[in-house]
Amino acid sequence: MFLSRCFQWIRTKVTQRAERLLLRVLAVGPIPQHVAFVMDGNRRYARMNQKAIAQGHSDGFVALRRMLEACLRLEVRCVSAYAFAMDNFRRSPEEIDHLMHLAHDKLMEMSLHGQILEEYGVRLNVLGKTSLLPEYVQEAIRHVELVTKNNNKAILNICMSYSSQDEITTAVESAIRISLDNSEPEVCEITEHDISAQLMTSLAGSPPLDILIRTSGVKRLSDFLLWQCSENTQIHFCKAYWPEFGLFDFVPIILEYQRKRWGRS
């Protein structure tokens, strides 16, 4: 038992040092300013590993923290994570209840002194129709957004009760209302720029989307950041389930981004 623990400790330390070295090497090249994750595969991961579905979601939050820290060490300016789609309200009441309590607990945990948001100066935004979430989750959102509002080194967007179609619809409505307030109704005009400026990500201060990653091998966007996916956005579909996704899955994606950026220069 003692030797087993010693071996595990040594392996962990070696892995950590290798990861730190790898991040330092990557940081020499161009770094994306905005990376988004569709965190897919928690339930399939749980079933494959004979775990409860709830544990799969919990392991998914561990993966989010792991990847957030990797991005922050690389000095990625903004990370967006698809945590709960509006469509997810169709799931079983038991699973939704667990997800809501898990979100509450993790939001409160991240707001504590000495946690990752404070360490890296991260402002947290929760994007989506949050009025559909339970009141105790809304309270946690208000708390963590208030605690981190003056952090200005990086941004974490947690997309909850989110739908890209809803975001675009709301942005168009806002753009029209602003135009009407500033001009006569018969000359009201809106442009792509006007709509872009009213997107939730834009209002949260997010830069343009450079990379979007979906795990679990599913090749669709599932109504996530559809407007933000421009011609310059790299989209990657990875086979790993989200709780398994780690630095060594992320590195080839960053290397491809750097290769394409160097190719343009």
Higher pLDDT, 111 or 141: 141
Amino acid at 25: V
Domains of the chain in sequence order? 31-163+208-256 (3.40.1180.10)
C-alpha span between 74 and 95 (Å, rounded) = 34
This prediction's pTM: 0.91
Q: pLDDT tens, 18-69? A: 777 878 888 889 999 999 999 999 999 999 999 999 999 999 999 999 999 9
Residues 4, 118: Cα–Cα separation, whole Å: 35
Pairing of strands 34-38, 78-85: parallel
pLDDT of residue 188: 72
pLDDT digits (tens, 9 = 90+) for 72-83: 999 999 999 999
76-121: pLDDT as tens digits: 999 999 999 999 999 999 999 999 999 999 999 998 877 899 999 9
Per-residue pLDDT, 231: 87
**pLDDT at residue 134 is higher than 90:** yes
Q: Which residues contact 188 (CB under 8 A, 6 or more apart)?
A: 176, 179, 180
* 51 DSSP 8-state letter: -
Question: Per-residue pLDDT for 160 more than 80?
Answer: yes
Tokens of 43: 């339930």
Give the whole-angstrom CA distance, residue 156 versus residue 78.
Answer: 6
At 129, is the pLDDT very low, low, confident or very high (cuts 50, 70, 90)? very high
